[in-house]
Structure formats: structure tokens, C-alpha cells
């Protein structure tokens, strides 16, 4: 534990408070002039089931305080992972936040945003003193919710959540205790995940053999054409597949690659057929990704990709940048 | 959007409220008899920076209500991902929740738990009416926080959070627009993550060649010994590596595998050297996992494994259960 802060450093206090994970909401109301008002808030929480009450707090400095204080009705929108941009828009001042936003018709005049994870239409029940904030407690008059994955916020950053299954996800029954192998090994899970996804791609490529090494070589040449053998290997050899001249000659016989130059300076370029094959493979890889995303859910698929990127960054053997201009 | 609920179904209301992600806290105080009291709550939130105020709400039915109502001091503990069990313990009634729990000395008599993500030592500032709950607003007198990853809660389940980098994590510069290949392809990320992790394992096995297919075969035989070629392939062939008799003869020449039986019924068993090699490999795979976990952080590594398991379940080609008894 860090030292206790008896005298208050506001930044440290904010950082400590920020460790408490929250969802993200936009809270809206209508001004007396009929103009829509809305702000992003993560101070929302539920209070009571019967009567149904929720709360949130608003800075006494907020320009919208008078409107919320005098308005009776406001709506809380629990944002989905796809509404991060909307959150940013309502967190900043100035622009017309509601420009080009379609609204639903609610039970009051308070604006009702679309495509949220959940919405609560409220009427102020209490306004309480809360230091530099006012605590608004609202009675929920109507609510709805969808199955869109909710956006989260933690330590000043948006976050994706992975719900832990109530019972541990098991791929198999428990291994015998004398065995050191377990399905809970990161390396095993990476390998099995990789090969199972590749397997789905293979099924879509039913008329075509998919040799994984050939797949990698074509992909590299599709991004950076006209490479020599050593250059290809700088991009591919981390996979453990070392590309040889014989391997390239095999792709030449399949008319996927053309070999140019002299014996001591051979360079490899994609043929039109090679490019078409590679683009077809990547298009089908996107189909596989769509199928898996539909099964995992958008938010989990996105979280998996963020975590894999993080893994790749921390385990990078120093691969050259395939996409760098040259 | 689902239909609006104008008349209230408490279960639907609870489900809608549950979509708002929260952290998990334990809030403690001391009874007048000196006994420690503590409950798990996710209704915590920050209220004010100056003065420093936080709030949470407690059911009017709670047995601990009189203690919290009359006690002046209470502590909020924001739990870490490693305190899920503690959360469960303080969420249920009955047992002596504080048995065998070591406490820190705080500024009041309220129990101060250890190993949390953050702690706030408070004195009641206000108690507000909140329907079937009482809202406690506390002035924070002291706080501290650590870098332990915080536990989250969403829709009735514990959750792990993956913070989204403020700027998108890029492995490389932007690909040229005419190219269909992008680093943001799940299949690419799985392959690259898998091979980079395998590459780290290879470096630890510097005296030993690591042939990935041999690694898989030895692993399968280590868990289920005495298989024939077809049986080995049911466990291995999804990787695209098809195991042949010649491949097994190669492992026999390295004295890793012994071949038993007649020509039409050959069975393969691990030798002592084969078992030792395999166990060494898995031990080193665990070392790689520890290194990667240290770099990723415990919570992200755990989230990655949960998500990979989910991916494996939804893309399972029907692999037989390697660990099933036979």
C-alpha cells in the first residue's frame, strides 16, 4: 500500500477514486427555452428498487446545473461500447451536442437517445447537498434495456469488460494431478485458438490447399512486393517456418509467384494469380472473424483483439514494420 | 430497444440497472460492542473533490443498518481482482467474516482490510432518504491506493476490465489504402501472438530444437500415452500438421518415443526421455507465461485467457477431450 494521504493532494485523491470502475452515462433534460441539454456522467448508481430510485451528482460549477435543478424530468442513458464517441461529444462543452442525433419519444420532453444499453426516464425525487456537487435522486418512471454490451470507465480511460463465467470455463475435464499439462496454459490456449481459427479458414478455402507458410509468404508479398529470400524471412521466420528457395520455386510452379533477377540476386514478386489468391484468403479470413465475432459478441471480440495486440507488443522479437513506407 | 416498462417488473428493473458496470467495495465499521461489521457493496461512487465526499447506499432491511447509522466512521475498500473470494464472503450473512483476516491500523476503530486497490477512511457527513435504502455520504479523512487491478461487476457477474489505450495500439504504421491486409485482423493477431509466444519458448529451449509438431505429439502422449497414429491425429490434426509414421520414426530415433505392437497395430508410448523432454517444455512454457503475465499485468493476462477459452469453445471443430478418463 502507498502511504496514506492525510493532507489532500487532489490529483492523488482523483486517482484513487478513479480505480473504482463505472459505466458511462449521458444524462439529458430540456431547458426552459426548449433547448436540449445533456452531459456525460459516471457518477450514476442505483439506490432503491421500491420505489425505483437512481442517483447521480453534478458539479455546482456545471453550466447545466440551473436547468437540471429546475427541470423535473431527466433521462439516464447507459452507453454501449459503440457509443464511446457520443460519450466524448457530451463530455465537452460548446458545440451543439444534439446536432444530427435522432431521438426517441419518451414520456417527458427530456431528449431520449437511441441505441443505448439501458435507459431510465426519471423525475427528480430529491436534490441533496454534496460538497462541490449536487446529488440528484430520481424516481424511475420508465426504463428499457437492450443486449448491447455496456461501455466501462476506469482510471480515466474507457474500458471493455470481460464477464467472468460463474463457473470456470473448462475445455475438458480436470487433468490427472500427476500431469503437469493443463488446459489453463497461455501457450496452449494461444496455439489452440490460432489453429482452430485457421481451421475455419481452411474450410472456407475448400477448393484450395492452404499451406500456412504459403499463406504467410503471399501475405508479405501482397503488402511489400519484390523482396529477396532474406527479406521475406525477416518477416516470416519468427513463425518457425524458414522460407527456402525450394519453397519459392514451389509457389512459382503454382504460378503464384514470379522469380526475377540473377542467381545471386533473386527477387520474388506476386503474379496476378498470386495476388488474387492472397486477397481471397484475407477476405475469407474476415468472414471467419465476422462469424467468430457474432458468436463471441462485439465487445468480447474487441477486447480479445486489444489484449492480443498488447501481447504482441510485449513479446515482439523486433520484427520489422511490414507496413512501413520504403 | 426492448419495450418500455411503464409498470414495474422488479426483475427487469434489476436487470436494466445491472448493465451499469461498477467496481466492488467492502464497507466496514465497528459496532458499539466493538465487533467488526462489513458488507459488500457496489453502490459506491465519488461525489465531491473539495470537500472530499463519497457515497454509497444501504438497504433499510440490512442487519448492519443500525450500526452504520449510529457509527460515525466507516472505511470503503475498492477490491482488486484477487479479492473476489473476499467479496463473496462479505456478501453473505452468518459466518464470522473477519475470522483470520489481518487488519491494518486506520485513523478510526473501523476495520481496515489489506491488499485492496484503494481505501477511503470516512466519517459520515450526511444520511439521506433513498426509498428502501439509506444514502450515506462520507467525508474522506484519509485514503491510499495501490496498483492492484480493480475487480469489476456487471449484470450480476464479476468482470475483468481491459482499458482501451487512449490512442489505438498500432503494431505498425497505417497500411496503404489499396491493400486489404490490415494488422487489425483477428486471424493475424492470433497467429502472430501464438508464434511470438512460441518463439520465446524456443529461446529458453536453446539447447534443444523445438519442432512444433513434435511438441504437440509429446504433449498428447504425456497426457494420454499408448495411442495409435489415428488416435494421435484426432488430437493434433486440427493444427494442420498431419502426423505420419515417418514422423513417429523420427521421434523414435531421438529416443523420445517407443513403438510397440505389430505392423498393422502400431502403438506409440513415451520413453522416459520423451516424458522428461515434454515436462521440461511445459515447465518452460509456464516460465514464458509468467514473463508475459508480468508484462501484461495479472488482470489482463487473466482476461486474455478467459477470452481465448471462449474463442476456443465457439470455434471447436469437435476435438475429443484430451483429459477425459478412459
pLDDT in tens, A256-295: 999 999 878 899 999 999 999 888 888 999 999 999 999 9
Query: For the domain that residue A242 is a member of, what is the CATH number?
Result: 1.10.10.10
Q: Do B314 and A295 touch (CB under 8 A)?
A: yes
**Cβ count within 10 A of residue B191:** 24
Residue of B nearest to A17 (CA): B46
* Residue A208 confidence (pLDDT) above 80: no
pLDDT at residue A319 in the model: 82
Residue B8 in any domain: the answer is: no
**Cβ count within 10 A of residue A201:** 19
Round to whole Å and give the CA distance between B154 and A300. 14
User: Would you say B186 and A197 are in contact if contact means Cβ atoms under 8 Å apart?
Assistant: yes
pLDDT in tens, B283-307: 999 999 999 999 998 889 989 999 9
Number of domains in chain B: 2
* Residue B197 confidence (pLDDT) above 90: yes
* Residue A173 confidence (pLDDT) above 80: no
- Strand spans (E) along chain A: 22-23, 25-30, 36-41, 45-48, 53-59, 73-78, 103-104, 112-113, 118-130, 133-145, 152-154, 157-163, 257-260, 267-270
Distance from the Cα of residue B226 to its chain's centroid: 35
Greater confidence, A139 or B319? A139
Q: Are residues A151 and A192 in the same domain?
A: no
> Which of the listed residues B159, B174, B195 is the one where a domain comes to its end?
B159
User: Would you say B181 and A217 are in contact if contact means Cβ atoms under 8 Å apart?
Assistant: no
Distance from CA of B238 to the nearest CA of A (A): 6
Residue A169 in any domain: the answer is: no
List chain B residues with CB under 8 Å of A202. 240
Q: Do A312 and B196 touch (CB under 8 A)?
A: yes
Going by C-alpha positions, the residue among B301, B299, B307, B20 that lies closest to residue B153 is: B20
User: Would you say A113 and A77 are in contact if contact means Cβ atoms under 8 Å apart?
Assistant: yes
The pLDDT mean for chain B works out to 89
**Cβ count within 10 A of residue B176:** 10
Residue A168 in any domain: the answer is: no
pTM score, two decimals? 0.84
Print the domain residue range for A40.
16-159
pLDDT in tens, A40-68: 999 999 999 999 999 999 999 999 999 99
Q: Are residues B53 and B150 in the same domain?
A: yes
Q: Which residue among B45, B200, B324 places its CB closest to the CB of A45?
A: B45
Determine which helix (DSSP H) or strand (DSSP E) holds A313, and give its type and residue range: helix A298-314
Determine which helix (DSSP H) or strand (DSSP E) holds B171, and give its type and residue range: none
Q: Are residues A21 and A139 in the same domain?
A: yes
Q: Are residues B294 and B200 in the same domain?
A: yes
Q: Are residues B38 and B152 in the same domain?
A: yes
Distance from CA of B263 to the nearest CA of A (A): 30
Residue A24 in any domain: the answer is: yes
Residue of B nearest to A307 (CA): B304
Q: Do A296 and B314 touch (CB under 8 A)?
A: yes
Q: Are residues A146 and A190 in the same domain?
A: no
The stretches of chain B forming alpha helices (DSSP H) are: 10-18, 65-70, 84-91, 186-204, 212-223, 229-236, 245-253, 272-296, 298-314
Q: Which residue among A104, A146, A173 places its CB closest to the CB of B323?
A: A173
pLDDT at residue B176 in the model: 45
Residue % of chain A over a pLDDT of 90? 67
- Regarding an ipTM greater than 0.85, the answer is no
Query: For the domain that residue B74 is a member of, what is the CATH number?
Result: 2.30.110.10
Residue B301 in any domain: the answer is: yes
pLDDT in tens, B207-258: 666 678 888 899 889 888 899 999 999 988 888 888 999 999 999 999 999 9
Round to whole Å and give the CA distance between B249 and B307. 38
pLDDT in tens, A96-123: 899 999 999 999 999 999 999 999 999 9
Q: Are residues A152 and A77 in the same domain?
A: yes
Amino acid at each position: 500500500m502507498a502511504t496514506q494521504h492525510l493532507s489532500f493532494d487532489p490529483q492523488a485523491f482523483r486517482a484513487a477514486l478513479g480505480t473504482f470502475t463505472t459505466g458511462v452515462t449521458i444524462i439529458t433534460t430540456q431547458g426552459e427555452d426548449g433547448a436540449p441539454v445533456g452531459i456525460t456522467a459516471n457518477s450514476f448508481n442505483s439506490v432503491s428498487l421500491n420505489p425505483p430510485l437512481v442517483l447521480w451528482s453534478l458539479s455546482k460549477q456545471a453550466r447545466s446545473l440551473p436547468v437540471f435543478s429546475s427541470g423535473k424530468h431527466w433521462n439516464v442513458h447507459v452507453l454501449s461500447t459503440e457509443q464511446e464517441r457520443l460519450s466524448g461529444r457530451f463530455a465537452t462543452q460548446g458545440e451543439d451536442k444534439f446536432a444530427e442525433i435522432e431521438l426517441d419519444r419518451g414520456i417527458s420532453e427530456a431528449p431520449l437517445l437511441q441505441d443505448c444499453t439501458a435507459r431510465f426516464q426519471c423525475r427528480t425525487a430529491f436534490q441533496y447537498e454534496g460538497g462541490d456537487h449536487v446529488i440528484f435522486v430520481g424516481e424511475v418512471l420508465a426504463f428499457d434495456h437492450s443486449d448491447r454490451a455496456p461501455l466501462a470507465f476506469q482510471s480515466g480511460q474507457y474500458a471493455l469488460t470481460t464477464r467472468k463465467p460463474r463457473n470456470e470455463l473448462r475445455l475438458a475435464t480436470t487433468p490427472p494431478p500427476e500431469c503437469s499439462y493443463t488446459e489453463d496454459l497461455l501457450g496452449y490456449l494461444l496455439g489452440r485458438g490460432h489453429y482452430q481459427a485457421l481451421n475455419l479458414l481452411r474450410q472456407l478455402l475448400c477448393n484450395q490447399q492452404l499451406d500456412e507458410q504459403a499463406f504467410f509468404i503471399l501475405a508479405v508479398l501482397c503488402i511489400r512486393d519484390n523482396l529477396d529470400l532474406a527479406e521475406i524471412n525477416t518477416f516470416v521466420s519468427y513463425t518457425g517456418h524458414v522460407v527456402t528457395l525450394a519453397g519459392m520455386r514451389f509457389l512459382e510452379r503454382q504460378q503464384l509467384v514470379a522469380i526475377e533477377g540473377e542467381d545471386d540476386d533473386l527477387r520474388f514478386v506476386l503474379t496476378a494469380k498470386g495476388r488474387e489468391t492472397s486477397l481471397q484468403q484475407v477476405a475469407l479470413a474476415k468472414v471467419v472473424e465476422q462469424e467468430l465475432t457474432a458468436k463471441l459478441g462485439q465487445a468480447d471480440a474487441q477486447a480479445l483483439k486489444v489484449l492480443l495486440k498488447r501481447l504482441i507488443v510485449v513479446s515482439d522479437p523486433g520484427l520489422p514494420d511490414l507496413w512501413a513506407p520504403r
